[in-house]
């Protein structure tokens, strides 16, 4: 069942993002997901809190969320009924020391790994309240139509990545301020970033990323990476992990 109106889908298509200011999961389900995140945080060892990438490779309970109707019903109106699970990532910015996320396009880091970026979408779920003060995500509306940008190096110690888009005009940036349990949607090609967390409050989000299955995932460019058929059927001859 679609959870977005035609007007909301049209807004996403034009601007490259949409803020879904509703609770994505029930209170019990959100509490369960938070518990899984806390478990992952305890097991991270020397990794920083913002480096918990593809946790569903290690923790199969996350597939109950990633392949859930709550999420897929939100994604389907935008990319269609044939949906693959591309990736997920717990991005946690600790209080005071949480690193900045440089301005980037997700598509730039996935270049060459898939045949197209037209229908790849990220659902960014707020595990904690996400505010300007603790470094919420920002986007530049409409930039998903610009193609790949030019990048430059930045300090990898104080930033989540070691490169950023050159000369970004942030004058019309939109801040994604979200309450715990709410989420945002953004196109893989849109310019986005986030300030460091200088507040006393942690900022954790769970990114859930999906693609239309008419997109080919190149196996030789995705070593040790797994994708799942989340809904519908495969259209590009991709290889999918099995759901146990």
pLDDT number for residue 25: 97
pLDDT score for 43: 84
Summarised one tens digit per residue, pLDDT across range 211-237 is 999 999 999 999 999 999 999 999 999
- Position 146 scores a pLDDT of 87
- The 3-class SS string of the chain reads CCCCCHHHHHHHHHHCEEEECCCCCCHHHHHHHHHHHHHHHHCCCCCCHHHEECHHHCCHHHHHHHCCHHHHHHHHHHHCCCEEEEEEEEEEECCCCECEEEEECHHHHCCCCECCCCCEEEEEEECCCECCCCCCEEECCCHHHCCCCCEEECCCCCECCCEEECCCCCCCCEECCECCCCEEEEECCCCEEECCECCCCCEEEEEEEEEECCCCECHHHCCCCCCEEEECCCCCCCCCECCC
Structural domains present in the chain? 6-231 (2.60.120.620)
- Give 2's pLDDT tier (boundaries 50, 70, 90): low
CB atoms within 10 A of CB 181: 20
44-80 tens-digit pLDDT: 765 655 567 899 999 999 999 999 999 999 999 999 9
Please write the tens of the pLDDT for every residue from 107-164: 998 999 999 999 999 999 999 999 999 999 999 999 999 888 999 998 877 777 788 9
User: pLDDT-derived band of residue 178, with 50, 70 and 90 as boundaries?
Assistant: very high
What confidence score (pLDDT) does residue 243 get? 65
Question: pTM for the full model?
Answer: 0.94
Q: Return the bridge partners of 100, or none.
A: 159
């Amino acid at each position: 069942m679609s959870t977005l109106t035609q007007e909301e889908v049209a807004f996403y298509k034009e601007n490259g993002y949409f803020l879904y200011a509703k609770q994505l999961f029930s209170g019990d389900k959100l509490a369960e997901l938070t518990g899984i995140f806390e478990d992952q945080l305890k097991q991270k060892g020397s990794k920083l809190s913002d480096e918990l990438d593809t946790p569903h490779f290690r923790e199969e309970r996350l597939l109950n969320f990633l392949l859930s109707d709550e999420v897929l019903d939100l994604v389907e109106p935008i990319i269609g009924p044939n949906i693959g699970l591309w990736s997920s990532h717990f991005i946690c910015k600790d209080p005071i020391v949480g690193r900045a996320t440089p301005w980037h396009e997700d598509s730039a880091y996935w270049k060459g790994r898939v045949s197209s970026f037209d229908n790849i979408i990220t659902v960014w779920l707020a595990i904690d309240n996400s505010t300007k003060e603790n470094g919420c995500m920002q986007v530049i509306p409409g930039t998903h139509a610009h193609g790949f940008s030019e990048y430059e190096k930045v300090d990898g110690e104080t930033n989540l990545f070691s490169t950023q888009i050159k000369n970004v005009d942030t004058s019309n940036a939109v801040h994604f301020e979200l309450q715990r349990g709410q989420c945002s949607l953004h196109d893989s090609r849109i310019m986005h970033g986030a300030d460091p967390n200088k507040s006393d409050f942690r900022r954790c989000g769970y990114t859930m990323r999906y693609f239309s299955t008419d997109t080919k995932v190149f196996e030789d460019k995705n070593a040790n990476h797994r994708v799942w058929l989340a809904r519908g059927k495969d259209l590009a001859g991709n290889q999918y992990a099995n759901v146990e």
